[in-house]
Amino acid sequence: DVVMTQSPLSLPVTLGQPASISCRSSQSLVHSDGNTYLIWFQQRPGQSPRRLIYQVSNRDSGVPDRFSGSGSGTDFTLKISRVEAEDVGIYYCMQGTHWPETFGQGTKVEIK
């Protein structure tokens, strides 16, 4: 199985400051169709996960533009340009290129 490794696992951030989460895969996530199926989810406390970013860098409808995704191959990043209080939660990356799909361990974002 493809192992997804996130860092850091805990991320205390000051309101208004940027935040960055890394996600590395044990194999390339480039699919034979040329696409890279790397997704980012946000899970706020007590809620179901919500998709933020798909295929590395495509932001979902309704997701604030302070969220951005980047990367290629085995190395990916989720950035929040200016953290707001509503961004508190756990962020997961997930690869869908290889079965079984696998998730990172999660990164807990909290306000300092």
Partner 1 sequence: EVQLVESGGGLVQPGGSLRLSCAASGFTFSSYWMSWVRQAPGKGLECVANIKSDGSAKYYVDSVKGRFTISRDNAKNSLYLQMNSLRADDTAVYYCVRGGSYLKDYWGQGTLVTVSS
The residues that touch partner 1, with contacts defined as CB under 8 A, are 35, 37, 39, 41, 48-51, 54-55, 60, 92, 94, 96-97, 99-106
- 16 or 47, CB closer to partner 1? 47
- 18 or 73, CB closer to partner 1? 73
The b-or-e profile of 59-89 (16+ CB within 10 A means b, else e) is: beeebeeebbbebeebebbbebeebeeebeb
Q: At closest approach, how far in Å is the CB of 82 from partner 1?
A: 25
